[in-house]
Amino acid sequence: MTLKHTALSLAHMFGTVRGALTWEDDAAAVGAPGSVDFASAFARQERVYQRAALDLNAALTAGEVSLQAYADSRRLRFFDPSFQFDTHANGVFRGASLRITQALGTTHLVTAGWESKGDVALFDASIPGKAPSVVRDATAAWYVQDELHRPNAPLGITLGLRTERIQGTKSTTTPSLGVLEHLGSHVDASANYARAFRAPSLDERYYPFYGNPSVQPEYGATFDAGLRGDSGSASGAVTWFGADTNNLIVNVPIDTFGDVAPFNVNRARVRGLAANLATSLDSRTHLTIAYTDFIVAQDLTPGRPATRLQYRPTASGGVVVWRQARRWNFGVQGAFVGRRFADEANAKLMPAYFLTSAYVERALSENTSLGLRVTNLSDNRLAEDELGYPIPGRALRVRLAAHY
């Protein structure tokens, strides 16, 4: 296994304008043995992700304006010499955005923006007699949002509207509405509703052997309502949430080897309850707990009995305890994932699992630190997030960070 991540960021003030230039290179060469039912000791995956971005931000009289331009590149290769299998997926993704935030009087805070993105990808399955395929996609969108809040009033309302124009897809406008009410000095109530839209990616449509050119965009409606509060040393929230989706994009098994491809679920419904708590046990010791219960997660495709959505767990959660002491920072973490079905027919039930990890970090100087992390402390090799693909066993990671 070879992992490499390099990042460089430069920032400078040009009068009242702050400019930032960033560059990242993230590369890896790892084994990719596949499903335990059809494992290969020779399969490998090599990837290189790169990103260059320019950000410009300037303050206005009662707001700010920001401009971003970026270019991302990706080189992904998966090959297995034992089966003469070799695929390449190379892509370039360029985009730009402009956002303006402006206060209008004492009641309105308006945000408006524009985004544009163009994608080009080359997919090559190295099949004799078959030429590589080059595919393109382009997206343009504009949005506007108004936060209405009178000074000293307990009620705030946020209204939003977004229009997306995606190549080959009918333009879509999605509204949103949010309400925040201060019930007291330490308790807030909130409720949000929004329409949602997601177009399938180029990988989901065209990746060799696993893409599905006929997959359709998702359309949905999401909502949440909840309470949050704090008492100085502790804070917490509880939220009821839901989503109703048409053409939900999910990965479905396509063969007996564990391979999957994206398909649409005609109708899906999700309802759940989420809660979190953050507290300080003393001045240096802290605790956070999060829990989400997916009470309803149904595939409601007409013409067949309702089933639970594939891979949607009954519940998930986590707990973190950490302590800060002078130059030291250390803690333990735990993550829980409940039972879930690995197929649309709900015939393959995957058991719940709980994983733990621990870390310790020491500041070597004002700008450098050294960290050590051990994941999957119990070396649980049976836990799976996808059927046939166990999560990695116990692993040790060392991280040296420098900031200048």
**319, 357 Cβ separation under 8 angstroms:** no
Residues of the chain with pLDDT under 50: none
Are residue 327 and residue 291 in the same domain, yes or no?
no
Of 265, 280, 312, which residue constitutes the final position of a domain? 312
Predicted pLDDT at 286 = 95
- How high is the pLDDT of residue 129? 66
Question: Are 248 and 370 members of one domain?
Answer: no
Q: In whole angstroms, give the CA distance from residue 202 to residue 173.
A: 22
* Main-chain dihedrals φ then ψ at residue 82, nearest 5 degrees: -65, -25
Verify that 298 and 317 share a domain, yes or no: no
Question: Which tens digit of pLDDT belongs to each residue from 183-232?
Answer: 988 999 999 999 999 999 999 999 888 889 999 999 999 999 999 999 88
Q: Which tokens is 2 given?
A: 């070879």
Count Cα neighbours of 79 within 13 Å in the Cβ-side half-sphere.
Answer: 14
Domain extent for 368: 313-404
Domains contained in the chain, number: 2
Q: 231: which DSSP letter?
A: -
Chain centroid to Cα 205, Å, comes to: 20
Domain match, 54 and 160 both: yes
Same domain, 291 and 339: no
Pair (193, 318) in one structural domain? no
Q: pLDDT, tens digit, for every residue of 283-319?
A: 899 999 999 999 999 999 888 888 999 999 999 999 9
Considering the domain architecture, whether residues 21 and 36 belong to the same structural domain is answered as: yes
Do 52 and 187 share a structural domain? Answer: yes
Tell me: do 30 and 102 sit in the same domain: yes
Residues 240 and 369 in one domain: no
Domain boundary among 312, 329, 347: 312
- CA pair distance 235, 322, nearest whole angstrom: 17
**What are the CB-based long-range contacts (under 8 Å, 24+) for 324-327?**
324/284, 324/286, 325/284, 327/362, 327/363
Cβ atoms 28, 3 nearer than 8 A: yes
* 299 within 8 A of 346, measured Cβ to Cβ: no
User: Within a 13 Å sphere around the CA of 383, how many CA atoms are in the beta-carbon half?
Assistant: 18
Q: Which of 312, 347, 371 is the last residue of a domain?
A: 312
Residues 253 and 353 in one domain: no
| CATH code, 83 | 2.40.170.20
Half-sphere exposure of 183 (CA within 13 A, CB side): 11
| Whether 70 and 208 share a structural domain | yes
